[in-house]
Structures are given as C-alpha cells and as structure tokens.
C-alpha cells in the first residue's frame, strides 16, 4: 500500500511547517512502513541551522521517523477518523551518522518492535542513497486527542 500527501494528512494531525512526511512508498500493516521526506531549502529551520552550511536538525529527523511510525500505527490499528492520536513517549539509542542537507530525499524506514493495546515500540532509520543518516528506537502511545 502507498499513500499520497492527502492520505498522509488524513493520518497525521501535523501541518506545515511540522508535517515531515511527504508520501508513503510502502506500508505493510502490523509490520513496517517506508516513507519519504523531500528536504527543501525552503524549510524554515535552514535560515538558522546553519546559514553557511544548511543541515536538517537531528531532532527533526527523529520527528520525521516518529511521524512515519504514527502513520504505521494509525493504519495498523484502524485509527483514521477515530479521534485518537499517536503521541511520542520516548526516544532511545538515537544516532546521527550523516548530515541531511537541502535537496536530499530522506527515506524513512520504520518497523514495529512491540505492539500492545495503547503503547507501541518502533525501530527506525533515515536513509540517504542507501546509507544510514540517522537511526533510533522510540515509543508512542495511542490516546484520545486533548483540547
């Protein structure tokens, strides 16, 4: 299964400038997802990170992985339109191996490590041309949206 930007937006509450998944290339419910973030010089953080050598902040790479995991959880648990959200709870073993610059297509590969009723654990890696740029394990919780 693949998802275009409209389907991505139906799964996630994020919007510009915090929507960090542009499309889903493949999604295997209950297993894994491969999504794409097209990194553009128009991203607002590049003005200050860093003006002479623009680099995507590592925390935003991890956020992109978490958003891909959110889509995987929403589709695997049939949460689309339910009013439930997937909240980030923990980040573990984050490693940053290669800078991500404007013009890159960041491939976000995420899989389930563990799945319970309301808490899921994931492993993810962000790839640039087949090379690991960043990787992390993280935990998320499914809960009602709060006002």
The full DSSP string for 30-97 is TTEEEEEEE--TT-GGGGTS-TTS----HHHHHHHHHHHHHHHHHHHTT-TTSSEEEEEEEEEEEEE-
- Report domain extents, the chain: 5-144
Specify the pLDDT at position 81: 87
- Greatest distance between any 2 Cα atoms in the chain: 46
Query: Do β-strands 84-96 and 131-144 pair in parallel, antiparallel, or remain unpaired?
Result: antiparallel
Paired tokens of 66: 């978490």
- Domain topology for 5-144: Thiol Ester Dehydrase; Chain A (3.10.129)
More confident of the two residues 75 and 117 = 75
Does pTM top 0.85 for this prediction?
yes
pLDDT (tens digit, 9 = 90+) per residue, 31-90?
Answer: 999 999 999 999 999 999 999 999 999 999 999 999 999 999 999 999 998 989 999 999
The residues annotated as belonging to the active site are 49
Specify the pLDDT at position 147: 47
**Contact yes or no for 136/92 (Cβ under 8 A):** yes
Mean pLDDT, the chain, integer: 96
């Amino acid at each position: 299964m693949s998802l275009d930007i409209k389907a991505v937006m139906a799964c996630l509450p994020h919007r510009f400038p915090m929507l960090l998944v542009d499309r889903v290339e493949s999604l295997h419910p209950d297993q894994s997802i491969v999504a794409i973030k097209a990194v553009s010089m128009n991203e607002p953080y590049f003005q200050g990170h860093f003006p002479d050598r623009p680099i995507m902040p590592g925390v935003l790479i991890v956020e992109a992985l978490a958003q891909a995991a959110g889509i995987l959880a929403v589709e695997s648990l049939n949460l689309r339109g339910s009013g439930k959200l997937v909240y980030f709870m923990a980040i573990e073993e984050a490693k940053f191996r290669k800078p991500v610059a404007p013009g890159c297509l960041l491939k976000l590969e995420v899989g389930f490590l563990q799945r319970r009723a309301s808490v899921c654990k994931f492993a993810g890696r962000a790839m640039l041309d087949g090379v690991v740029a960043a990787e992390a394990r993280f935990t998320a919780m499914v809960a009602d949206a709060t006002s």
